[in-house]
Each structure stands twice: as structure tokens, then as C-alpha cells.
Amino acid sequence: MPFLLSSLILASLTVTALAQDVARKTAYPIASSGQDAFFNSNGLRIHYVDRGMGEPIVLVHGLNNSIQDWVSGGVVANLSKDFRVIALDLRGHGFSEKPHDPKQYGREMGLDIVRLLDHLQIRKAHIIGYSMGAQITAQLLTTHAGRFISAILGGGGGEFVPGVDDQNELEKIATEYESDCISRTIALGTSAPQNRPSEEELAKRSAACFADPNRDRFVTAAAFRAWGQRRITKAEFAAVKVPTLGIVGDADPAMTMMEEMQQIRPELKLVVIDGAIHQMGLERGATRRIEFVNAVREFVLQHKGRSEASGSPQ
């Protein structure tokens, strides 16, 4: 089950990084310029920011990340100099509402993006998804391709693995999160034998998670129970015509996933950042490297001029 394993590795990296990231997040308030607002997405309150002028670019973060990771990493400030940048806190994250029902996750997370474009009266936009955000973006390319001018998949992509066994594994992980605020399955299954955490270390991680006011274990559990709802087929991904770029660090386990996506869609260009790791919140994370935003700028400019949107926040 290579793609499920890859997804679990990426989820593990993001959750582990969050504990190291809490202090940094509190030090970076959301940028004060532009709009910082909420909208109603099928009954759920979703937080977003709207910065700059020009062609719209939507930013979609990963699991247990938020708008703050795009802000603190400099991506919002850089791109909003020349583009209209719209970033949302995915449901269950940041300042958006946090339901505990798995039915509120899965495909609904992608539909929030479509509804946000409708709310802002934007017909088409560029979209950048990172990690779980890339998975969400890949699915949107198969269901709502007409809403996107171009797409950038960072540190992840389509979830192609089917199967009842996978769903059973996801249920096991969700139950572990509900009980311990961490998943033993992920912690042990995604570590090299020499680096596997001891029972004492697992207990420390669990205690730290329970003590962290930014963590909601029931949201994480719900998101994992709905993980499979974002699966797409390789044939669906191969049929996507939206220009697509992949960006990944060479120290990111997602490299294998990105290379397989390139095999499915040979026209997909892949930018590899030397020395970059997966986690958005850490200094070596790919999104914090100038190569990331430079690749985004170059790609968006290549496909500029096909949006149907107002040029500034409303």
C-alpha cells in the first residue's frame, strides 16, 4: 500500500512538527493589511485572508497547519506584491470551525475552496496546495477543473490507494488519536527501526499533545476517518488538462509520490529543492525556501491572463 504509507508518513511529519511549531506560530500574528474574514460554507464558518491585487492565487495548507504557515514562511507577503492571494484555514484548522463529525471532512474540505471562490465572485484562480492541501487540490482538478487556471502541488498529491484494508487502518489510527492524542501506528510505522520511539517517548508525546491548546484530537481523528473520501483514480488524474507543477524537497518522503504522479502525467514538471524537508513549519521546510516561491511565480506567470475575476479584495 505505497500511497497510503506515503500519506501516513507525511501526516506523521506534519503532526510531529506541530509541537515544535507552536511557539513560532504565536510569535507571528496574521498580517494586518488586506481582508481577514469569515464566510459561511454550507453551514460552517471558514476563516480566510485576502491580500494584494492581480490574478487570484488560492493557498491550501496541510494537515494541522493553517494560514499562519503561509504568512510566517513569507509566501503571502511575497506573492501579494503582484497577485491577489487568498488563503483559507481549512475546516478543523486555524480559526475555522472545528466539527468532530467525519462527514464534515473528506470532499467537503475541497468544496470549501470552490464555495470561497463563489463567495468572492471569482470564476477561475491559480491554486497551490501543500501536503494534504495538495491531495485536496489534486481531487479538485478531477471534479472542478474549470475553476482553475493552473495548479501547483507541493509535497504531495493525489491519493490513489483503494481498499477496505486501508479504511480499517485509518479507523485504527483515528481511534488512537481519540484515545491518546497521538497515533502509535503512525509513530512506529513511519520510523526507521533504529529511530522508533520508546514507550516513554510515546507517553511524553501524548502528554504534550493533551497539554497543547492548539490541538484537537477529535478533529484529527475525524480527518483520518474521512481520508479515503478524497481518493481519485490514476485515470482521472491522467485526464486532467489544467497546467500542473510539482514542487518537493529532496529530503521529503513525498518525492516518491511526486515521481509517480509525473509518470501518470508526463507533462507535469517537477521542481526539486535541494536540502528541503516536508514540514511547512520548520526552517528547512520547502515552502520557506526562496526556490519554492520563485518556482510558483515563474509557473503562474507562464499561465497568467486566463482568469475571470476582480483584481482586488472586495
Beta bridge partners of 152: 128, 245
Distance CA 173, CA 222 (A): 10
Q: Cβ neighbours of residue 259 under 8 Å, at least 6 residues apart?
A: 270
Which own/partner contact pairs does 269-272 have at CB distance under 8 Å and 24+ positions apart? 269/245, 269/299, 270/245, 270/246, 271/245, 271/246, 271/247, 271/295, 272/248
The structure's pTM equals: 0.87
Distance CA 67, CA 72 (A): 9
Question: Could you read off the pLDDT of 170-213 as tens digits, one per residue?
Answer: 999 999 999 999 999 888 876 667 778 899 999 999 999 999 88
Does residue 311 carry a pLDDT above 60? no
Does residue 307 carry a pLDDT above 90? no
Does residue 131 carry a pLDDT above 50? yes
Q: Cβ neighbours of residue 150 under 8 Å, at least 6 residues apart?
A: 126, 127, 242, 243, 244, 245, 299, 300, 302, 303
Pick the closest to residue 299 from 82, 126, 90 (CA basis). Answer: 126
Q: Taking a C-beta distance cutoff of 8 angstroms, is the pair 233, 160 a contact?
A: yes
Distance CA 48, CA 262 (A): 31
Question: Could you read off the pLDDT of 206-235 as tens digits, one per residue?
Answer: 999 999 887 899 999 999 999 888 899 999
Residue 18 confidence (pLDDT): 47
Does residue 3 carry a pLDDT above 60? no
Q: What are phi and psi of 37, to 5 degrees?
A: -145, 175
Residue 40 confidence (pLDDT): 97
Residue 28 confidence (pLDDT): 32
H runs (alpha helix) in 265-309: 290-302
Distance CA 171, CA 178 (A): 11
Compute the residue count for the chain: 314
Question: Could you read off the pLDDT of 14-25 as tens digits, one per residue?
Answer: 555 444 444 334
Domains and CATH numbers, the chain: 2-163+220-302 (3.40.50.1820)
